[in-house]
Amino acid sequence: MKKIWLAGGCFWGVEAYFQQLKGVLATIVGYGQGNVENPSYRQVCSGLTGHTEVCEVTYDESVLSLRGVLEHFFRIIDPTALNRQGPDRGTQYRTGVYFTDEGDRQVMMDYIAAIRSRYREPIVVEVEPLRNFYPAEEYHQDYLGKTPGGYCHVNLNLARPEERKLI
């Protein structure tokens, strides 16, 4: 099992997308990379905490490689949009991939280098060691599962059928 922390705008859609993938064992949404301990959603939305909305993804690397995780992540974000995804604006919606295994950094950097030519604008996705992560309030966990038709900027249909878990 491995973990990666993904910031791709509103964390509800990132979580819902990754929950459907083969090899993903668990997800937790929360706040990361900021300077306030255990912040609330309201504090993060103020833009004053330095946190971004993050989805912690635990995955089985024998089923889904780190490169595969990155391929999926870059499918659902605009990596050239600074501090925004879809209609969401603010530093809490910046994009990033965060790690605790230093060996993952090179895989991440190599992947971004390999796709850079697909974009006219610079890629602004942060690639950093995870500084901190605080789980969000319970009502945010599995929000789209609990709230069918809830707001989501992520196209949840981008995963091909063969990439999805059997339900």
Among 42, 78, 53, which Cα is nearest to 133's?
Answer: 53
What CA–CA distance (Å, rounded) separates 134 from 52? 11
- Among the listed residues 10, 45, 55, 152, the single catalytic one is 10
Place of tokens 């791709």: 8
The answer to whether residue 10 is catalytic is yes
Among 54, 59, 74, which Cα is nearest to 20's?
Answer: 59
Residue 90: strand, helix, or coil: coil
Give the active site residues: 10
